[in-house]
Amino acid sequence: MRSRLLALTSIACLLFAPGSYAAGDSSADNAAGTTSTDSGKAMSSGVVKKVDKAAGKVTISHGPLENLGMPKKMTMVFRVKDPAMLDRLKEGDKINFVADKVNGAFTVMSFEPVK
């Protein structure tokens, strides 16, 4: 009985969380090096290390990719959703980007330059 009461209380606390936390306050995201997009996917920060237009890939040194279960900083090679995206990237660019796994390959779905 006590464990059920504790479980119900925990669920109620999560459902009725106060103000900005429940509304998705992005200041918590920014502390982790991420921001949110309109689609709800977390954006990660990164630096472009290499652009390979022939292969349709970009190498990015990045922070955590929470939506992909990667909590550590690392450098990875990504495919891009649209090859035209590579025309807007160059080595050294600082970007915020959304990555997802598409057909088994890590893919940059969108990005924006850091201002």
pLDDT in tens, 43-99: 999 999 999 999 999 999 999 998 899 999 999 999 999 999 999 999 999 999 999
**How far apart are the C-alpha atoms of 9 and 14, rounded to whole Å?**
9
**How far apart are the C-alpha atoms of 107 and 57, rounded to whole Å?**
9
Under CATH, what is the fold of the domain 32-113? OB fold (Dihydrolipoamide Acetyltransferase, E2P) (2.40.50)
The residue to which tokens 């090859």 are assigned: 83
The pLDDT of residue 16 is above 90: no
Name the token pair of 71.
């909590």
| pLDDT for res 94 | 98
Q: How do the domains of the chain map onto residue ranges?
A: 1-30, 32-113
Beta-strand pair 34-36/42-52:
antiparallel
pTM of this prediction? Answer: 0.66
The pLDDT of residue 13 is above 70: no
